[in-house]
Amino acid sequence: MRYIRPLSIEDAVGQLAGSAGAAAILAGGSDLLVRMKGGFAEPELIVDIKAIDGLSEIRETAEGFSIGAAVPCAVLGENIALKKAWPGVVEAAKLIGSKQVQGRCTIVGNLCNASPAADSVPALVAAGARASVVGPAGRRTIPVQSVPTAPGKTSLAKGEIIEAILLDKREPRSGDAYLRFIPRTEMDIAVVSAGVNLTLDEHGVVKSARVALGAVAATVLLVEEAAEVLVGSRLDEATLERLAKVCAGACRPIDDKRGTIEFRRKVAGVLAQRAATSAYARAGGK
Amino acid sequence: MNFDPRFSGRKFASVGTRPIRPDGIDKVTGRARYGADFNMAGQLVGRVLRSPHAHARIVKIDTSKAEKLAGVKAVITAADLPDLTDGDAAMYDVLDNCMARTKALYDGHAVAAVAAIDARTARQALKLIEVEYELLPHVTDVDEAAKHTAPLINDAIFTEGLEEKPVKPSNVTKRSQFGHGDVHQGFGQADFIVERSFKTEQTHQGYIEPHACVANFSSDGTADLWVCTQGHFVYRQHCAQLLGMEASKLRVTSSEIGGGFGGKTHVWAEPVALALSRKAGRPVKLVMTRDEVFRASGPTSATSIDVKIGARKDGTITAAEATLRYSCGPYAGSWAEIGAMTAFACYKLDNVKTVGYEVLVNRPKTAAYRAPSAPMAAFAVESAVDELAKKIGMDPVDFRIKNAAQEGTRSSYGPVYGPIGIGPTLEAVKSHPHMKAPLGKNQGRGMACGFWFNFGGQTCTDLNIGMDGSVSLAVGTVDVGGSRASLSLVAAEELGIDYSQVKAIVADTSSLGYNDMTDGSRGTFSSSMATISAARNAILILRERAAQMWDIAVDDVVWEKGHAIAKGEKHGNLGKLSLKEIAVESGKTGGPIAGHSELVADGAGVSFATHICDIEVDPDTGAARVIRYTVVQDAGKAVHPTYVEGQYQGGAAQGIGWALNEEYIYGKDGRLQNAGFLDYRIPVCSDLPMIDTQILEIPNPNHPYGVRGVGETSIVPPLAAIANAVSNAAGVRMTHIPMSPPRILAAIEAEREWSK
């Protein structure tokens, strides 16, 4: 096994593209090291990206925020501007693992691990986040929901690295929220999760919405019918009831050790309601 | 040796205080040495190859490729552990469980092992071992396995305990029955009857430290074993027997232990490590991974229990009956029998009958888990008792008080009780402020009682007085819950010196006579009895030495508050002699001063507890949260109250995990789906409320200080107390443990459908 710590993204891309055997990117290592220890991954090359210039920064730009691939989730919680603009994304990142894990793990790692139960992904999908990808063929920007294609699989080509997650600048009267269901209070993996992102008009009516569900299909689901239910409403009881129904119907869950199909459908609806209510309040809705 | 174990009702100076434990600082600073912290020069890494199949015949094992791998020093299979059990069926099962001989009986069953120069080589070597399996049909569910149509796990087993010897083999290894009176007649007198069936899933003790040992087999045929265990003397016996050694040639040292709860009372890896070391000619360290701990150590039984209880309008129980089916793993056990004995032990019953069935399944061999078998029986019985109280319209505490066993009651399992604590714990609960705490929306309160036998057993202790007057105490019961502190307090109490002058250690198997394991809540009970006896023997010698120093008759010397005192007027001018003053002179008065004791600690007093629990249920997700929890338990005498409280809280914490989330989940393929702490959910800190405790002290008449075991009873009531609370909070009776969110939500939804 070879471990390298390149100083530039180009070098990292080159090393990954040129590797003969299995290669892995190391940021926080909270997934990779566990997999290696368990004997599930035996990479021949490990590319540590933490020394690459700029990858450990959150930058606030005219367009919004750029969160580097090596930024630990704990740091997201310390960025006041980001927390104010995207509280749902930050609360999702701050639910991963434990305090100790959050000091290491990253949202890009969470995305590329491609687990349907990843905590930060539904929040990012609801937020309309994009991933900036660097590869042998240059740079491209893609929506985050197009990165995971199946459990453990991504659309990234050999040699490609996500260097940053991009979040838009916030319109006024916007709010997002993320909730997950776990049987414990922490140190757990989502059985079902929901991210909701809303923008209201000046009358408190939902102008635009995005609803994403986690752990109810092979990848995180962006539920457009659920967004349609919310748009034009003030989140009255009937709307919330319809939201729950649409979300339950959109799920394609499985029975497994973490929950049953019925449980996931029902709770997906409940969490969507609760996340929508929270996002609505954050957007200033009453 | 004339040792009088009877309760004497003395006033205490040291016992009942709360000093810091002698092992505390090393444990919190990380210096304490646990099983995996021991290392030897030239040590190899041992690893075990395990069956991925639930049930399979082992057709062939080819180890030749693994043996040729550079760095591999030994590869073993069952052939390297020949059968030396000589007709001892229980030991044969232990041997077969350590290394499968003809069939792999569960996912995780060991089939081969390697010793190599490092972990990487050992892992590679495992991949090079070729095992040819012939798959057999399997069964993992206790009810399925008990059916006539189930795949047979062992066709040489015919159900014992039936009136007629069966003609066909069965997975049910034994039927046992307890009780007295006539239940049929009793139910005839009942105005109300509750009859229900319950299920509990299999759980693991969840000790944080995985099994670990270092084995060093010398070419002269002797061996050393450093190991994390609850009973190093028992490990020595078993390992010596399985490896064909004389027990005295194997010296076993117990490390510090990161939890056992009954799970470290059985050998698994240790005979394998010794066999690897014998073959390789080098020390071998073998540490289980967490995955291996779950798949291949000894969880508790999964159960299926039917209960029927009848009572008159006035609240008197007229009859009680239970049928209990417990899974044993693939080897015969007596788990249902224990469940059948404990089920109704809290109550005074004229008509009671319990029947237990031991059931083989393709799961790891069941081991003891803290008051083994009692929590599941209590869950079923105390749920039905609660429901019956409701039906009658009585307060659940009053209903239990009315039917509680008392001194002189014939227990449901046979013996007549002496002074016991069930009534007092119930009275204490009735007046506890917890019972008056306000409940909010979606919150419910539950309570339940629990019983455990406790055990005494063989015990041997040495107490040595140094020439500076300090005392070293060597005990043979492994310290799993603070017993070194408690036993130091007892030695200080007897000798009349300060706690700080006593240092207790757990001696290895070559330094002390045989001791039973730390199980049955016996550590402090039995070793304190032996410590009192050893201290009294030492005091006899101290008095003799003082008499010699004074040149008077030993009968004229008494021992009081750490001093020899010459009694009688004729010695009135002699001052006191302290323990230290006598010790300093010991070289001139006859040599070292020591007290020894070996005894069988009979009369472990039975123990009772009553728990109260408040739960909040989210009716939309089925999530349950414990918001308040109180343990009331009889300790006989709390030697070190802090560690008694720790035992109370620990049992409740484990019970909360078991009740709400912990379970072994098997796939259709018979493989364990959740062999790790991520999906086998023991509670994390934030899942638990502050667990309040109340210690009652109803002295055990068979111990000089009145001590009873306290370690196990605390896990007996929680499943039932929590189930009763959840049922009250959710408005629907929960009968399947764990009450995980999907199960609670499904029950709520079914109730909503039904009431539409």
B459-511 residue pLDDT tens = 999 999 999 999 999 999 999 999 999 999 999 999 999 999 999 999 999 99
- List the single residue in A38, A187, A260 with the smallest CB-CB distance to B742: A260
Tell me if B291 and A191 make a contact (CB, 8 A cut-off).
Answer: no
Say whether pLDDT at B754 is over 90: no
Instruction: Measure A181 CA to nearest chain B CA, in Å.
Output: 8
Question: Could you tell me which of A191, A184, A170, A192 has the C-alpha nearest to residue A279?
Answer: A170
- List the single residue in A183, A187, A266 with the smallest CB-CB distance to B740: A183
Show residues of chain A in contact with B665, CB under 8 Å: 257
- List the single residue in B683, B684, B746 with the smallest CB-CB distance to A262: B746
CA distances from A191 to A49, A254, B741 (A): 31, 11, 10
Using CA atoms, how far apart are residues B373 and B378, in angstroms rounded to an integer? 9
Burial B644-662 (b: 16+ CB within 10 A, else e): bbbbbbbbbbbbbbbbbbb
The pLDDT-based confidence of A130 (bands split at 50, 70, 90) is very high
CATH 3.30.365.10 fits B303-418+428-440+607-755, yes or no: yes
Interface of A with B in 30-69 (CB under 8 A): 38-39
Using CA atoms, how far apart are residues A67 and A60, in angstroms rounded to an integer? 9
Residue located via tokens 């390789």: B280
Instruction: Measure A179 CA to nearest chain B CA, in Å.
Output: 12
Average pLDDT value for residue range B241-248: 97
Show residues of chain B in contact with A257, CB under 8 Å: 665, 673-674, 679
- List the single residue in A184, A259, A270 with the smallest CB-CB distance to B687: A184
pLDDT score at B581: 97
pLDDT score at A286: 85
SS3 A113: coil
Instruction: Measure B272 CA to nearest chain A CA, in Å.
Output: 22
CA distances from A161 to A135, A138, A150, B177 (A): 6, 11, 18, 67
- Using the Cβ of A74 and the Cβ atoms of chain B, whether some distance falls under 8 Å is answered with no
Tell me if A181 and B687 make a contact (CB, 8 A cut-off).
Answer: no
SS3 B167: coil
- List the single residue in A189, A262, A270 with the smallest CB-CB distance to B620: A270
Domain layout of chain B by residue ranges: 24-32+456-601, 37-136+215-257+264-293, 303-418+428-440+607-755
B580-624 residue pLDDT tens = 999 999 999 999 999 999 999 999 989 999 999 999 999 999 999
Using CA atoms, how far apart are residues A250 and A244, in angstroms rounded to an integer? 10
Using CA atoms, how far apart are residues A97 and A74, in angstroms rounded to an integer? 11
B649-701 residue pLDDT tens = 999 999 999 999 999 999 999 999 999 999 999 999 999 999 999 999 999 99
Residue located via tokens 């094992």: B61
Using CA atoms, how far apart are residues B140 and B107, in angstroms rounded to an integer? 10
Show residues of chain A in contact with B740, CB under 8 Å: 183
B92-146 residue pLDDT tens = 999 999 999 999 999 999 999 999 999 999 999 999 999 999 999 999 999 999 9
Q: Residue ranges of the alpha helices (H) in B47-193?
A: 64-68, 89-98, 119-128, 142-145, 183-188
- Using the Cβ of A184 and the Cβ atoms of chain B, whether some distance falls under 8 Å is answered with yes
CATH classification of B37-136+215-257+264-293, choosing from 3.40.1390.10, 3.40.50.620, 3.40.640.10, 3.90.1170.50?
3.90.1170.50
Instruction: Measure A64 CA to nearest chain B CA, in Å.
Output: 36
- Using the Cβ of A270 and the Cβ atoms of chain B, whether some distance falls under 8 Å is answered with yes
The pLDDT-based confidence of B1 (bands split at 50, 70, 90) is low
Interface of B with A in 691-750 (CB under 8 A): 740-742, 745-746, 749
Question: Could you tell me which of B604, B300, B339, B333 has the C-alpha nearest to residue B450?
Answer: B339
Residue B183 corresponds to which tokens in the numbers above?
Answer: 């239940």
Tell me if B686 and A258 make a contact (CB, 8 A cut-off).
Answer: no
Average pLDDT value for residue range B389-407: 98
CB pairs under 8 A between A and B: 57
Average pLDDT value for residue range B634-643: 97
Residue B401 corresponds to which tokens in the numbers above?
Answer: 């008080």
- The torsion angle over the Cα atoms of residues B227, B232, B236 and B237, rounded to 10 degrees, is -150
DSSP assignment of B113-142 equals EEEESSHHHHHHHHHH-EEEEEE------H
Residue B669 corresponds to which tokens in the numbers above?
Answer: 């393929």
DSSP assignment of B354-419 equals EEEEEE--SSPPP---SSTTHHHHHHHHHHHHHHHHHHHT--HHHHHHHHB--TTPBPTTSPBP-S
Using CA atoms, how far apart are residues B709 and B499, in angstroms rounded to an integer? 22
Cβ–Cβ contacts within 10 Å for residue B526, how many? 34
- Using the Cβ of A191 and the Cβ atoms of chain B, whether some distance falls under 8 Å is answered with yes
Residue A126 corresponds to which tokens in the numbers above?
Answer: 């609801």
Burial B21-57 (b: 16+ CB within 10 A, else e): bbbeeeeeeeebebbbebeeeebbbbbbbbbbbbbbe
Tell me if A181 and B621 make a contact (CB, 8 A cut-off).
Answer: yes
Using CA atoms, how far apart are residues B159 and B107, in angstroms rounded to an integer? 25
Q: Are strands B212-217 and B563-566 parallel, antiparallel or unpaired?
A: unpaired
pLDDT score at B306: 98
pTM of the model: 0.96
Q: Residue ranges of the alpha helices (H) in B307-373?
A: 335-342
CA distances from B613 to B396, B610, B640, B642 (A): 13, 10, 25, 21
SS3 B62: strand
- List the single residue in B673, B686, B741 with the smallest CB-CB distance to A183: B741
Name the maximum alpha-carbon separation found in chain A: 60
Average pLDDT, chain B: 97
Show residues of chain B in contact with A275, CB under 8 Å: none
For CA atoms A94, A98, A103, A106, give the dihedral sign.
negative
- List the single residue in B123, B621, B683 with the smallest CB-CB distance to A270: B621
- Using the Cβ of A185 and the Cβ atoms of chain B, whether some distance falls under 8 Å is answered with yes
Q: How are the residues of chain B apportioned to helix, strand and coil, as percentages rounded to the nearest 5?
A: 30, 25, 45
Tell me if A257 and B673 make a contact (CB, 8 A cut-off).
Answer: yes
Question: Could you tell me which of B526, B544, B515 has the C-alpha nearest to residue B483?
Answer: B526
Using CA atoms, how far apart are residues A164 and A139, in angstroms rounded to an integer? 11
Using CA atoms, how far apart are residues B475 and A215, in angstroms rounded to an integer? 53
Beta bridge partner(s), residue B505? B474
Asked if residue B487 lies in contact with residue B531, where contact means CB atoms within 8 angstroms, the answer is yes
Asked if residue A210 lies in contact with residue A227, where contact means CB atoms within 8 angstroms, the answer is yes
Closest residue in chain A to residue B689, using alpha carbons only:
A185
Tell me if B123 and A39 make a contact (CB, 8 A cut-off).
Answer: yes
Tell me if A267 and B620 make a contact (CB, 8 A cut-off).
Answer: yes
Helix axes B422-430, B396-403, angle to 10 degrees: 160
- Using the Cβ of A263 and the Cβ atoms of chain B, whether some distance falls under 8 Å is answered with yes
Tell me if B741 and A263 make a contact (CB, 8 A cut-off).
Answer: yes
B179-207 residue pLDDT tens = 999 999 999 999 999 999 999 999 999 99
DSSP secondary structure letter of residue B672: B
Tell me if B681 and A260 make a contact (CB, 8 A cut-off).
Answer: no
B288-347 residue pLDDT tens = 999 999 999 999 999 999 999 999 999 999 999 999 999 999 999 999 999 999 999 999
Please tell me which residue, B754 or A277, carries the higher pLDDT value: A277
The pLDDT-based confidence of A37 (bands split at 50, 70, 90) is confident
A147-170 residue pLDDT tens = 999 999 999 999 999 999 999 999
- Using the Cβ of B668 and the Cβ atoms of chain A, whether some distance falls under 8 Å is answered with no
A187-240 residue pLDDT tens = 999 999 999 999 999 999 999 999 999 999 999 999 999 999 999 999 999 999
B61-83 residue pLDDT tens = 999 999 999 999 999 999 999 99
Closest residue in chain B to residue A268, using alpha carbons only:
B621
B251-296 residue pLDDT tens = 999 999 999 999 999 999 999 999 999 999 999 999 999 999 999 9
Could you tell me which residues come within 8 angstroms of residue B716 by beta carbon, excluding any fewer than 6 positions away?
Answer: B342, B371, B374, B375, B378, B450, B451, B452, B609, B651
Could you give all domains of chain A from N- to C-terminal order, each with its CATH number? 2-49+57-168 (3.30.465.10), 176-282 (3.30.390.50)
CATH classification of B24-32+456-601, choosing from 3.30.365.10, 1.20.210.10, 3.40.190.10, 2.60.40.10?
3.30.365.10
B428-471 residue pLDDT tens = 999 999 999 999 999 999 999 999 999 999 999 999 999 999 99
Using CA atoms, how far apart are residues B149 and B154, in angstroms rounded to an integer? 14
Could you tell me which residues come within 8 angstroms of residue A92 by beta carbon, excluding any fewer than 6 positions away?
Answer: A119, A120, A122, A123, A124, A178, A180, A195
Closest residue in chain B to residue A261, using alpha carbons only:
B742
Using CA atoms, how far apart are residues B254 and B688, in angstroms rounded to an integer? 31
Question: Could you tell me which of B200, B204, B201, B199 has the C-alpha nearest to residue B295?
Answer: B204
Tell me if A183 and B745 make a contact (CB, 8 A cut-off).
Answer: no
Cβ–Cβ contacts within 10 Å for residue A172, how many? 10
- Helix or strand (DSSP H, E) at B271: helix B269-280
DSSP assignment of B676-739 equals STTTS-PPPGGG---EEEEEE----TTSTT-----TTGGGSSHHHHHHHHHHHHHTS---EES-
CA angle B692, B694, B700 (to 5 degrees): 145
Using CA atoms, how far apart are residues B480 and B499, in angstroms rounded to an integer? 20
Residue in A1, A258, A264, A271 to test binding to B, most B beta-carbons within 10 Å: A258
